[in-house]
Structure 1
């Protein structure tokens, strides 16, 4: 009996020592990255492109909105106007998209006058007393007077102040322009005073006078505004263009 009991106690269920071990496989659960949205987790390549395109579109919309606000601000200050086609006997070419305008007229029987006027400048010659806090704007103007092909061109380089014209240089050149380094004459202020006065009278007779100076300053103010709004509109159109 004792031996039977010992034998029973020494035995264990065969299932505890079976070579067939049953277990549940461990599955690694991958959680989405905290820096990715669910869409990016499932479709990372497509979502990154989508988000990038959305950011680009929002940035471009902001640029366009700022441009439109700026244009509207300028229009509220004063409406956009076209330059007048004529002033006195001068015909005016506005030259849209450029920084200058051209005026043309005929004078007498054989003279043709061409005037080219550029945008405002703020660096003034020494002849004007200005302060850095309130600089006086002036316009650069070139007056070409033609007679015939043999006579060449008499050219005046001038500064146009709000109410006056100031001659800086007077010289001659051929119809085909200047080649090499021709002599352009002395500075205008070095000429004899009476000769200076006579040359101002020469321009005055041809309509290059203080009245034209006043008109050109108003004209170039309109030109500056028109070109600015035109430029802003071109930038907005480019930003809005889809590839």
Structure 2
């Protein structure tokens, strides 16, 4: 998607540049078959022509890009649940939220970003891929908050979702008012004992935070990324069309 946006912007800039060059070559302005001798009239007329051509180019590019995105593949209806999680997705936001109950007293809330990074995907034999979209592994950040009872401390676990796996980056305990419960927030996750790391992954997996969730999040965010991009272009188009 980032590649498509860059291509769209590049095309738009080129069109505006070409339009500016063409306007430099405009002949003397005619009105009703007669050449106007009023400099102010000529300036106003040329300015209006430039504005109309400028906006026309933007609208054409937006319509073409919207049509391309809609024809490339259908935009799926967002799901409302995944397993035991209830999903909350609000239009125009960069986040989605998941929540569920676990056991008798645990409340689990997960906040998930849209794609916020990428790394080269390894090829067969351990060779790192190139820089095209197909050669990149997109990254999603998500934060798991686990609380027990109202007003108690919250276990916060910061994670990464790769295309087919999750990765724990850090965890700490904070107070319910979002302040850190204690000054020492703990070490980086990879500094922990290997067996403890495995147990913490099992702790999350038993609560539905696992590799299957990573796969679902990537599919969901691909759809949301396109949906938000199309919505943004429609909004810009409607604004420019407004008289």
Cα 1:53–1:111 change in 2 (3 A) is: same
1:38 deviation in Å? 4.4
Which residue pairs with 1:48 in the alignment? 43
2:60 is the counterpart of 1:65? yes
Is the Cα contact below 8 Å between 1:154 and 1:173 reproduced in 2?
yes
Higher strand residue share: 2
Cα 1:187–1:38 change in 2 (3 A) is: closer
Cα 1:181–1:226 change in 2 (3 A) is: farther
Deviations 1:140-196 (A, max 9, x none): 111001112453110111111111111010110011112699322111111112211
Cα 1:180–1:63 change in 2 (3 A) is: farther
Instruction: Tell me which moved more, 34-43 or 54-63.
Output: 34-43
1:54 deviation in Å? 2.4
Deviations 1:61-99 (A, max 9, x none): 110111010011011111122211111111111121011
Q: How many angstroms apart in 2 are the aligned matches of 1:71 and 1:86?
A: 28
2:90 is the counterpart of 1:98? no
Which residue pairs with 1:121 in the alignment? 116
Is the Cα contact below 8 Å between 1:95 and 1:102 reproduced in 2?
no
Which residue pairs with 2:190 in the alignment? 189
Unpaired stretches in structure 1, ≥5 consecutive residues: 1-33
Instruction: Tell me which moved more, 179-188 or 86-95.
Output: 179-188
2:201 is the counterpart of 1:209? no
SS in 1 for 2:190: helix
Which residue pairs with 1:141 in the alignment? 142
SS in 1 for 2:205: helix
Which residue pairs with 1:199 in the alignment? 200
Higher helix residue share: 2
Which residue pairs with 1:28 in the alignment? none
SS in 2 for 1:136: strand
Is the Cα contact below 8 Å between 1:122 and 1:135 reproduced in 2?
no
Question: TM-score w.r.t. structure 2 length?
Answer: 0.77
Q: How many angstroms apart in 2 are the aligned matches of 1:170 and 1:179?
A: 11
Is the Cα contact below 8 Å between 1:103 and 1:114 reproduced in 2?
yes
Is the Cα contact below 8 Å between 1:163 and 1:210 reproduced in 2?
yes
Instruction: Tell me which moved more, 50-59 or 103-112.
Output: 50-59
Q: How many angstroms apart in 1 are the aligned matches of 2:101 and 2:85?
A: 8
